[in-house]
């Protein structure tokens, strides 16, 4: 019997219209757990580097995590993996909600799509009955509207639906996959879904998921349930509100936006508005939010209520989560009312709320600079908010200048030329980042920004404080109940970290400590992404209920696989290294690993080079960031080293790359 997982994947060939139920190899679960780990293995095996994102041979995987569908609180992530049209590397976006547990209950761990359907279709999974259905009547429909229409036509109100909107259908690089209160948004995975002619996947499942040692497992779940309210009632003092408690930034619950509005940048990540937040704005924004926020909502099996139902008069009700509350508002230098209104349309279109507002602000900056002209923007309204709607409508339809902008700021700037590249200033690996510009280089964030495989900082940062506490007393107070640390030395790093002086950034934490901190944070994310845990209860907050000390028991009692901390760390390292190797095979090199030029005002080229050198070494990678033959073999990834050697990326006897391939290759 298989525990925690179902032991079956669905393989769908959209070109042939075939559906197969395929038993999976339990050995792979022991090596990679599931979720992102096994997704990476499947992508490695089936998608050689020659395959382009919009090739029928690119695959699109919707995966549950290993613990999804079990009673583990917050284990509800769907991990969607494919090749990103924007970065040309692996994309792995995740969404919360209810979809992954429902897929488990239907009897499957993953749905793997290949090929392309000649007509728009959707997949209907109803336990053992799986069918590809015509979706031509859903063409052009909004993502949320599609979810409702599918539930109605199936007469199955409990079906969980993930759908794309117009942006995905038109292969817009910022296209998301929407699922009620959540979305898998980053890196253009909605565009790949649209390219495959797949409008939606609806799932209904009523089967059980087996647990190896249920009594032990339930005991652990109850401990998490007991811990959550304790932490909620005792927020960590001295840190910003979204880090003080638990959850996946509980933006929908808070009104105090001083930190975001004064520290994040407005426009196309351009202008910092110090002193913006005052009593009048707070009152107005609180009213705006109270007027539209109908109620707070949670994902499957989680008490945290990070999302909200939003009802703006005159537009359909939708659900919002996280920082999208502010991204449109701040990109347009507008107010919260505007943000809530345009976010409804953007959600129906199905676009990423981090990249899209920046792309629109980028277009307006180019227009103000005379790089784009009235000829490029025929009929664009004169008012600021009208311009944002106008641009959004054109981007998702790929109309006129919208067709260029739909590829994101990096590729659009290359097409526009005439100095436009200077305005695409907030990218890592061609992908728009959080609109954040800071002063002093933070060595921890430098490494995370440079080397994170996801090219998305929010999925890398985590359990270590983002900045030093002001006083020794605060530091001592913080480390007192910091049980999540894998080693006591991390407490020392916090205790000695000062805002100014010898032990301050950029030279403290030391290079060695920085490598260890980044490695720890990364390990936690890779565990979460393999088991399907929400980062808001594990790798993101400072003092979460899940950590390296209790995770092995969770996984072991759920699956029956023997596991201790060292073994779990090794699996996380294996998954992380496999992802790196996959991207290396697609051309990723050290030259690609850099933050936006102006992310920090104060830069230290020598220190930055040392940090990269040290981190690569720490991870078992060579100076180009390529995993060495020895480190691959230690992780049972011999087949990876053989492939890299065969392709001339590694040499047989030593670790240096023998062939340079730049990821800065031009789009064909
Ligand atoms: S912490 Fe928030 S985002 Fe995470 S599962 Fe719970 S409700 Fe969803």
Using a 6 Å cutoff on CB, does residue 302 contact ligand 1? yes
Using CB atoms within 10 Å of the CB of residue 249, give its burial: 0 to 12 exposed, 13 to 18 middle, 19+ buried.
buried
Neighbours of 633 (CB within 10 A): 14
Q: Which atom of ligand 1 is nearest to the CA of 181?
A: 8
Given ligand 1 and candidates 221, 247, 459, 535, which is best to mutate, with the most ligand atoms within 8 Å of its CB?
247
Using a 6 Å cutoff on CB, does residue 7 contact ligand 1? no
Using a 6 Å cutoff on CB, does residue 304 contact ligand 1? yes
**pLDDT tens-digit map of 587-603:** 999 999 999 999 999 99
**Distance between CA atoms of 390 and 384, rounded to whole angstroms?**
10
> Per this entry, what is the length of the chain?
668
Tokens of 65: 């995590």
- What's the CA angle centered on 247, arms 244 and 252, to 5 degrees? 90
Tokens of 660: 């340079």
DSSP 542: S
- Whether 664 shows a pLDDT value over 50: the answer reads no
Using a 6 Å cutoff on CB, does residue 247 contact ligand 1? yes
- What's the CA angle centered on 447, arms 521 and 612, to 5 degrees? 130
- Whether 659 shows a pLDDT value over 60: the answer reads no
Report the separation in Å between the CA atom of 79 and the middle of ligand 1, taken as the mean of its atom positions.
15
Using a 6 Å cutoff on CB, does residue 224 contact ligand 1? no
Q: What is the mean predicted confidence (pLDDT) over 148-162?
A: 98
Helices (H), 74-208: 99-106, 143-154, 166-169, 189-195
Report the separation in Å between the CA atom of 610 and the middle of ligand 1, taken as the mean of its atom positions.
37
Binned at pLDDT 50, 70 and 90, residue 458 comes out as: low
SS3 of residue 436 by DSSP: strand
**Distance between CA atoms of 79 and 64, rounded to whole angstroms?**
6
Q: What is the third-level CATH fold of 8-204?
A: Aldehyde Ferredoxin Oxidoreductase;  A, domain 1 (3.60.9)
SS3 of residue 363 by DSSP: helix
Using a 6 Å cutoff on CB, does residue 339 contact ligand 1? no
Using a 6 Å cutoff on CB, does residue 537 contact ligand 1? yes
The answer to whether residues 543 and 485 touch, using CB atoms and an 8 Å cutoff, is: no
**H or E stretch at 349:** helix 336-349
**pLDDT tens-digit map of 85-132:** 999 999 999 999 999 999 999 999 999 999 999 999 999 999 999 999
Report the separation in Å between the CA atom of 249 and the middle of ligand 1, taken as the mean of its atom positions.
9
Lowest mean pLDDT among 232-241, 328-337, 377-386, 451-460: 451-460
Q: What is the mean predicted confidence (pLDDT) over 435-441?
A: 92
CATH code: domain 438-666 is: 1.10.599.10
Tokens of 335: 């107010």
Exposure class string for 568-602: b at 16+ Cβ within 10 A, else e: bbbbbbbbbbbbbbbbbbbbbbbebbebbeebbee
Q: Do domains 8-204 and 438-666 have the same CATH topology?
A: no
- Give the residue, by CA position, lying nearest to ligand 1 atom 1: 247
Q: What is the mean predicted confidence (pLDDT) over 540-569?
A: 97
- Give the residue, by CA position, lying nearest to ligand 1 atom 5: 74
What are the residue boundaries of the structural domains of the chain, listed by start? 8-204, 241-354, 438-666
Q: What is the pLDDT, as a whole number, of residue 259?
A: 87
* 1.10.569.10, 2.40.10.500, 3.40.50.2300, 1.10.10.10: CATH of 241-354: 1.10.569.10
Q: What is the pLDDT, as a whole number, of residue 249?
A: 73
- Give the residue, by CA position, lying nearest to ligand 1 atom 8: 299
Neighbours of 388 (CB within 10 A): 25
Using a 6 Å cutoff on CB, does residue 87 contact ligand 1? no
- Give the residue, by CA position, lying nearest to ligand 1 atom 2: 306
242 Cβ neighbours under 8 A, 6+ residues apart: 249, 250, 251, 254
Residue carrying the six token digits 């505007």 = 338
In this predicted model, which residue has the larger pLDDT, 18 or 248? 18
Residue carrying the six token digits 């075939």 = 18
Q: Which atom of ligand 1 is nearest to the CA of 321?
A: 3
Using CB atoms within 10 Å of the CB of residue 468, give its burial: 0 to 12 exposed, 13 to 18 middle, 19+ buried.
buried
Helices (H), 22-142: 26-32, 35-46, 99-106
Q: Which atom of ligand 1 is nearest to the CA of 77?
A: 5
Report the separation in Å between the CA atom of 59 and the middle of ligand 1, taken as the mean of its atom positions.
28
In this predicted model, which residue has the larger pLDDT, 655 or 547? 547
- Whether 666 shows a pLDDT value over 50: the answer reads no
Q: Return phi, psi of residue 91, to 5°.
A: -105, 135
Report the separation in Å between the CA atom of 305 and the middle of ligand 1, taken as the mean of its atom positions.
6
Residue 452: name the closest of 41, 11, 89 by CA. Answer: 89
Q: What is the mean predicted confidence (pLDDT) over 455-459?
A: 71
Paired sense of beta strands 18-23 and 60-63, if any: unpaired
């Amino acid at each position: 019997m298989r525990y925690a997982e179902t032991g079956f994947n669905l393989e769908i060939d959209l070109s042939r219209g075939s559906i197969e139920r395929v038993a999976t190899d339990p050995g792979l679960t022991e090596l990679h757990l599931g979720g992102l780990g096994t997704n990476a293995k499947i992508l490695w095996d089936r998608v050689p580097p020659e395959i382009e994102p919009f090739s029928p041979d690119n695959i699109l995987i919707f995966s549950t995590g290993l613990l999804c569908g079990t009673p583990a609180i917050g284990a509800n992530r769907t991990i969607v993996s494919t090749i990103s049209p924007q970065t040309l590397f692996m994309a792995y976006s995740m969404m919360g909600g209810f979809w992954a547990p429902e897929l488990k209950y239907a009897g499957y761990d993953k749905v793997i799509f290949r090929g392309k359907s000649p007509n728009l279709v959707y997949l209907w999974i109803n336990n053992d009955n799986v069918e590809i259905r015509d979706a031509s009547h859903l063409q052009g429909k909004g993502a949320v509207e599609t979810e409702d229409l599918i539930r109605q036509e199936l007469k199955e109100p409990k079906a969980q639906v993930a759908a794309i909107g117009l942006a995905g259908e038109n292969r817009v690089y910022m296209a998301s996959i929407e699922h009620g209160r959540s979305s898998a948004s980053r890196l253009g995975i909605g565009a790949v879904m649209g390219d495959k002619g797949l409008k939606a996947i609806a799932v209904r499942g009523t089967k059980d998921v087996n647990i190896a040692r249920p009594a032990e497992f339930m005991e652990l779940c109850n401990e998490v349930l007991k811990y959550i309210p304790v932490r909620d009632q005792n927020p960590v003092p001295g840190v910003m509100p979204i880090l003080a408690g638990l959850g996946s930034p509980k933006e929908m619950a808070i009104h105090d936006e001083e930190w975001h509005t004064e520290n994040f940048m407005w426009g196309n990540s351009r202008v910092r508005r110090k002193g913006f937040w005052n009593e009048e704005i707070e009152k107005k924004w609180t009213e705006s939010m109270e007027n539209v926020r109908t109620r707070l909502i949670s994902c499957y099996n989680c008490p945290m209520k990070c999302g909200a139902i939003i009802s703006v008069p005159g537009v359909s009700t939708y659900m919002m989560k996280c920082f999208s509350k502010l991204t449109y508002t701040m990109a347009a230098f507008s107010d919260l009312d505007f943000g809530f209104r345009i976010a409804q349309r953007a959600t129906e279109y199905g676009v990423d709320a981090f990249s899209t507002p920046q792309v629109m602000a980028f277009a307006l900056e180019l227009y103000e600079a005379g790089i784009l002209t009235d000829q490029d923007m025929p009929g664009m309204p004169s008012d600021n908010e009208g311009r944002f709607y106008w641009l959004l409508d054109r981007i998702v339809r790929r109309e006129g200048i919208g067709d260029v902008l739909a590829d994101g700021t990096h590729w659009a700037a290359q097409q526009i030329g005439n100095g436009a590249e200077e305005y695409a200033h907030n990218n890592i690996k061609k992908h728009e980042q959080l609109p954040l510009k800071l002063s002093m280089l933070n060595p921890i964030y430098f490494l995370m920004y440079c080397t994170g495989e996801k090219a998305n900082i929010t999925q890398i940062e985590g359990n270590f404080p983002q900045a030093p506490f002001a006083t020794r007393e605060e530091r001592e107070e913080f480390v007192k109940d910091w049980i999540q640390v894998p080693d006591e030395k991390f407490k020392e790093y916090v205790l000695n970290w000062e805002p100014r002086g010898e032990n301050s950034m950029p030279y403290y934490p030391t290079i060695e400590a920085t490598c260890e901190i980044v490695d720890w944070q990364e390990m936690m994310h890779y565990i979460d992404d393999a088991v399907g845990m929400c980062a808001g209860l594990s790798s993101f907050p400072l003092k979460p209920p899940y950590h390296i000390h209790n995770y092995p028991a969770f996984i072991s009692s759920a699956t029956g696989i023997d596991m201790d901390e060292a073994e779990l760390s090794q699996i996380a390292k294996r998954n992380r290294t496999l992802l790196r190797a996959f991207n290396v095979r697609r051309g990723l090199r050290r030259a690609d690993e850099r933050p936006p030029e102006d992310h920090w005002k104060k830069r230290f080229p020598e220190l930055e080079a040392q940090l990269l050198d040290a981190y690569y070494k720490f991870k078992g990678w060579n100076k180009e960031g390529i995993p060495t033959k020895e480190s691959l073999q230690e992780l049972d990834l011999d087949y990876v080293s053989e492939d890299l050697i065969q392709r001339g990326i590694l040499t047989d006897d030593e670790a240096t790359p023998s062939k340079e391939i730049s990821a800065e290759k031009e789009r064909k």
